[in-house]
Amino acid sequence: MDYAASVKPSPARSAAEGFLALNLPSRVSLEGLISIVETIRQRRIEVDVSESLNGGSVCGLWLSTDSAEIILHAPTPSALHRQQFILHELGHMVLRHDELVVSSNYAETLFPNISGEKVSRILGRSDFLDHIEAAAETLADLLAAAIRDSSLEPRSFERIFG
């Protein structure tokens, strides 16, 4: 077995590859990005605030159903925090983290009042949680930069030289 093939890519590399695969237009907004991911996922994306998310350890949650992708995020007065919560969950979608398998036993330790199978399906995460979360957050940062760069006024040299 080839050693290089057995090593999973770093979160930064996974995020960079996911970002490049999106082939984003030069100008993109959060709404435009949501539309792009809806096309990729072939379902609508619903975003809503959830008072039960405390914004501390859990700021956002992604639930994937047969007909919709649902992003719930913690309440925040900051539009930038809200955007980052959403971008993080979109990062999970782009990186297809729902296709990763979590053992039911591990899932039951996370949420003892919910069946491990159900939690496993919803989260799609396990022992490699740190790697997955880092990749999703890194992709969220890349997406935030793309949105930010889209909204910036042209710099002086760009106005002069095109």
Compute the average pLDDT of residues 124-140. Answer: 77
Per-residue pLDDT reduced to its tens digit, 4-39? 444 578 999 999 999 999 999 999 999 999 999 999
Q: Which two tokens stand for residue 85?
A: 């919560």
Highest mean pLDDT among 5-14, 56-65, 115-124, 134-143: 134-143
Domain boundaries of the chain, sorted by first residue:
10-95+129-146
**Do the beta carbons of residue 144 and residue 84 sit within 8 Å?**
yes
10 Å Cβ neighbour count for 55? 13
Provide the 8-state DSSP code for 27: S
Measure Cα distances from 1 to 5, 8, 34, 60, 128 in Å. Answer: 8, 14, 39, 38, 22
**Whole-angstrom Cα distance, residue 145 to residue 116?**
37
For residue 121, name the pLDDT band (cuts at 50, 70, 90): low
Per-residue pLDDT reduced to its tens digit, 48-74? 999 888 767 788 999 988 899 999 999
Instruction: Tell me the whole-structure pTM to 2 decimals.
Output: 0.75
